[in-house]
Chain A
Amino acid sequence: MPDQQPDKPNGVPDDANTELSSAFPQTPTLGAMEVEGMLEKEDLTHAPEVSTEAVGVADREVPRSLWQDAWRELRRNPIFIISGILIIFLVIVAIFPGLFDSTSPLQCDLSKSQQGPTSGHPFGFDTQGCDVYARTIYGARASITVGVFATLGTALLGTLLGGLAGFFGGWLDAVVSRIADIFFGIPILLGGLVFLSVIPSRSIWIVVAFIVVLGWPQLARIARGAVITARQQDYVTAARALGAGNSRLMLRHILPNSLAPIIVVATIALGTYISLEATLSYLGVGLKPPTVSWGIDISAAADTFRNAPHMLLFPAGALCITILAFIMLGDAVRDALDPKLR
Chain B
Amino acid sequence: MGIHATEVTADAGRGRTADSEDAPLLQVKNLQVEFRTRDGVAKAVNGVNYSVRAGETLAILGESGSGKSVSSQAVMGILDSPPGFVTGGEIVFKGEDLLKLSSEKRRKIRGTQMAMIFQDALSSLNPVHTVGTQLGEMFRVHRGTSKSEAKKKAVELMERVGIPAAKERVNQYPHQFSGGMRQRIMIAMALALEPDLIIADEPTTALDVTVQAQVMELLADLQAEYNMGLILITHDLGVVADVADKIAVMYAGRIVETAPVHELYKRPAHPYTRGLLDSIPRLDQKGQELYAIKGLPPNLLRIPSGCAFNPRCPMAQEICRTEIPPLHAVTEADGAPIQGRGSACHFWKETIHG
In the complex, A87→B130 CA distance in Å? 31
Min CB distance, B31 to chain A, in Å? 18
Shortest 4 CB-CB distances between A and B: which pairs? A243-B111, A61-B148, A242-B111, A234-B123
Contacts of B164 in A (CB 8 A): 25
Judged by a CB distance under 8 angstroms, whether B108 is at the interface is yes
Establish whether residues B167 and A57, one from each chain, have CB atoms under 8 Å apart when the complex forms: yes
Contacts of B148 in A (CB 8 A): 61-62
Give chain A interface residues in 231-259, CB to chain B under 8 Å.
233-235, 237-245, 248, 252-253, 256-257
Establish whether residues B189 and A242, one from each chain, have CB atoms under 8 Å apart when the complex forms: yes
Establish whether residues A241 and B173, one from each chain, have CB atoms under 8 Å apart when the complex forms: no
CB closest chain-B residue, reference A255: B128
In the complex, A342→B112 CA distance in Å? 34
Contacts of A57 in B (CB 8 A): 167
**B132: contacting residue among A63, A235, A241, CB under 8 A:** A63
Establish whether residues A237 and B118, one from each chain, have CB atoms under 8 Å apart when the complex forms: yes
In the complex, A314→B331 CA distance in Å? 93
Establish whether residues A62 and B151, one from each chain, have CB atoms under 8 Å apart when the complex forms: yes
In the complex, A239→B189 CA distance in Å? 10
Contact with B along A27-53 (1 / 0, CB 8 A): 101001100110010000000000000
In the complex, A195→B70 CA distance in Å? 53
Contacts of B137 in A (CB 8 A): 244, 252
**B171: contacting residue among A63, A234, A235, CB under 8 A:** A63
In the complex, A71→B69 CA distance in Å? 40
Contacts of A339 in B (CB 8 A): 127-128, 130, 173, 175
CB closest chain-B residue, reference A40: B168
Establish whether residues B115 and A241, one from each chain, have CB atoms under 8 Å apart when the complex forms: yes
Q: A66-B128, A66-B129, A338-B128 are in contact. Are A242 and B171 (CB under 8 A)?
A: no
CB closest chain-B residue, reference A30: B176
CB closest chain-B residue, reference A231: B80
Min CB distance, B119 to chain A, in Å? 8
In the complex, A244→B11 CA distance in Å? 33
Establish whether residues B133 and A242, one from each chain, have CB atoms under 8 Å apart when the complex forms: no
Min CB distance, B246 to chain A, in Å? 24
Q: A32-B176, A240-B78 are in contact. Are A58 and B147 (CB under 8 A)?
A: no
Contact with A along B14-36 (1 / 0, CB 8 A): 00000000000000000000000
CB closest chain-B residue, reference A26: B165
Contacts of B167 in A (CB 8 A): 56-58
In the complex, A60→B151 CA distance in Å? 10
Judged by a CB distance under 8 angstroms, whether B317 is at the interface is no
In the complex, A58→B130 CA distance in Å? 14
**B124: contacting residue among A32, A238, A245, CB under 8 A:** A238
Judged by a CB distance under 8 angstroms, whether B247 is at the interface is no
Contacts of B171 in A (CB 8 A): 36, 58, 60, 63-64
Q: Besides the contacts A235-B123, A240-B110, what 8 more A-B pairs have beta carbons closer than 8 Å?
A: A32-B176, A60-B171, A62-B151, A63-B130, A64-B171, A66-B133, A243-B109, A339-B175
Contacts of B108 in A (CB 8 A): 243
**B151: contacting residue among A63, A235, A248, CB under 8 A:** A63
Establish whether residues A340 and B127, one from each chain, have CB atoms under 8 Å apart when the complex forms: yes
CB closest chain-B residue, reference A239: B126
Give chain B interface residues in 104-159, CB to chain A under 8 Å.
104, 107-112, 115-116, 118, 120, 123-130, 132-133, 136-138, 141-142, 147-148, 150-152, 154
Establish whether residues A58 and B168, one from each chain, have CB atoms under 8 Å apart when the complex forms: yes
Contacts of A132 in B (CB 8 A): none
Judged by a CB distance under 8 angstroms, whether A24 is at the interface is yes
Min CB distance, B296 to chain A, in Å? 26
Establish whether residues A242 and B128, one from each chain, have CB atoms under 8 Å apart when the complex forms: no
Give chain B interface residues in 168-197, CB to chain A under 8 Å.
168-173, 175-176, 186, 189-190
A/B interface sample: 17 pairs, CB < 8 A: A25-B165, A32-B173, A32-B176, A36-B168, A58-B170, A62-B148, A64-B171, A234-B118, A241-B111, A241-B115, A242-B115, A244-B137, A252-B126, A252-B129, A252-B137, A256-B129, A340-B127
Contacts of A256 in B (CB 8 A): 126, 128-129
Min CB distance, A64 to chain B, in Å? 7
Judged by a CB distance under 8 angstroms, whether B76 is at the interface is yes
In the complex, A238→B154 CA distance in Å? 17
Give chain B interface residues in 44-91, CB to chain A under 8 Å.
76, 78
Q: A63-B132, A245-B107 are in contact. Are A33 and B138 (CB under 8 A)?
A: no
CB closest chain-A residue, reference B113: A243
Contacts of A69 in B (CB 8 A): 130
Establish whether residues B120 and A33, one from each chain, have CB atoms under 8 Å apart when the complex forms: no
Contacts of B115 in A (CB 8 A): 241-242
Contacts of A24 in B (CB 8 A): 168
Contacts of A240 in B (CB 8 A): 78, 110
Q: A27-B168, A62-B151 are in contact. Are A241 and B125 (CB under 8 A)?
A: no
Contacts of A61 in B (CB 8 A): 147-148, 151-152
CB closest chain-B residue, reference A28: B178
